Amino acid sequence: MKLSSKEKIIYLAGIIDGEGCITISRRPPWHDSRGNARSHSYHIRLEIVNTNLKLINFLKKEFNGSIYKRKPTSKKAKIAYDLRFTSKEALKIFNQVEPFLIVKKKQCQLSIKFQNHIYSTISKGHCTGPGNRVKKMNIKFRDRIWLQIKELNKRGV
């Protein structure tokens, strides 16, 4: 059976609701090669982990992403495959699947809001201040969204 583009998006939404993780990765502050202090860096991210390589390969073929192999966590565990999408790829997927998500809709909406904010502040030149540092208001916004998604992703919530 051949699926239409819309059916593939709806199928992906179901996979994301059941097997996916929508998050924002946050790296700690760092120093560049010149010794200048830099703030946290953030990336929206979608991960789909499954032991069925056929499923992961299908999703990769249809939606791109990068596949990583996870080592089994015990002798009885199977090898798991992790399909990851970040930034632009993740945003494209989130915009497509958002109407069809049930469980992870809020994380998806926050990720869209987050990434659109990043793009709008960069394109308008409002992202950075003196010394090419991220403005405090942008750091506060990013931290707020990061914390909201982190809270939504807590186990048992």
Domain ranges of the chain: 5-152
How far is 91 from 101, CA to CA, in rounded Å?
14
Task: List, for residues 17-59, the tens digit of each pLDDT value.
Answer: 999 999 998 877 666 677 766 666 788 999 999 999 999 999 9
Please check the confidence at residue 129 and state whether its pLDDT lies above 50. no
Class of domain 5-152: alpha beta
Q: Report yes or no: 59 and 65 within 8 Å, Cβ to Cβ.
A: yes
Q: Which helix (H) or strand (E) holds 123?
A: helix 105-123
Residue matched to tokens 């090898």? 79
